Amino acid sequence: MAEQQVLDVPAIRERLAWIQERIERACRRAGRSPDEVTLIGVTKTFPVAVVQAAYEAGLRHFGENRVQELVAKAAVLPGRIEGGEVTWHMIGHLQRNKARDVVAHADWLHSLDNLRLAETLERRAAMADRVLPCFVEVNVSGEPTKFGLEPDAVHDFLDALAPFEHLEIVGLMTLAAPAEDPEAVRPQFRLLRRLAETYDRRNNPRVQLRYLSMGMSGDFEVAIEEGATHVRIGSALFGPRLEP
């Protein structure tokens, strides 16, 4: 099997600067402040040495889509919940039997998408005496292979989260469909923003949809123009992944 190329600190620093410049330009086009946008480096499939190199290059937010990988990397570079200096974002689909690990090691969860998972997370977070900030994941592209709630189900789902005092619902998250031209997915980002803007908080006053987690390597500039506050960037920062 071919080895995945691992970039060193200067190479990551250079890519980081280039991504940050593109984020700033997208913000300027949209009349937004770059301070509103958090760059999450997605380190999935890369060794922990890449996380450490990115930390040295100045990155402070990291994302993983598998719990075991997040736990292993957070053991080396702990997140804030464990007294560290970085923030770990669990961005991938979550099984209920991994809820305990997420509560113990992840700072934020981007993939809340069903009530039974919310119940389990609530119980675990209460036991750990912490509040877990969560994004609700929405399937805006309509692709059957994607996780996330159907757009029509999002507002009822937010209402139903009212009893869960240890989950702080901070925003909505999505993955747009893969597209050659990122302009093609602009309506999907716009839909996510509209779902957040049209939620009636009287049904659950604890919900504050302040954030939108949307935009990846191929489409983050369009996502920012449409209001993204958290962009999740892997390959543009760390190079191509060798995935099955």
Ligand X SMILES: *Cc1c(COP(=O)(O)O)cnc(C)c1O
Q: Which residues bind ligand X (CB under 6 A)?
A: 42, 44, 65, 91-92, 175, 216-218, 232-236
Smallest distance from the beta carbon of 217 to ligand X, in angstroms?
Answer: 3
Cβ(93)–Cβ(117) below 8 Å: no
Closer CB to ligand X, 41 or 79, in the complex: 41
Shortest Cβ 177–ligand X spacing (Å)? 12
Residue nearer to ligand X on the CB measure, 89 or 124: 89
How far apart are the C-alpha atoms of 121 and 103, rounded to whole Å?
Answer: 7
- Residue 45 is encoded by which pair of tokens? 């499939």
Minimum CB–partner distance for residue 17 and ligand X (Å)? 17
Q: Is 140 in contact with 191 (CB distance < 8 Å)?
A: yes
234: Cβ–Cβ under 8 A, 6 or more apart, which residues?
41, 42, 43, 44, 63, 216, 217, 241
- Our CB check for ligand X shows the closer of 146 and 155 to be 146
Q: Residue 21: CB partners within 8 Å, gap ≥ 6? A: none
> Nearer to ligand X by C-beta: 185 or 204?
185
Q: Which is nearer to ligand X, 105 or 232 (CB)?
A: 232
| Inter-residue long-range contacts of 18-23, CB under 8 Å, 24+ positions, other chains counted | 19/233, 19/236, 19/237, 22/220, 22/221, 23/220, 23/221, 23/224, 23/231
**Residue nearest to ligand X according to CB distances in the complex:** 234
Closest CB to ligand X among residues 34, 218:
218
Amino acid at 154: V
In whole angstroms, the minimum distance from the beta carbon of 202 to ligand X comes to 31
CA atoms within 13 A on the CB side of 51: 27
Q: Nearest distance from residue 183's CB to ligand X, in Å?
A: 17
Q: How far is the CB of 19 from ligand X (least distance, A)?
A: 10
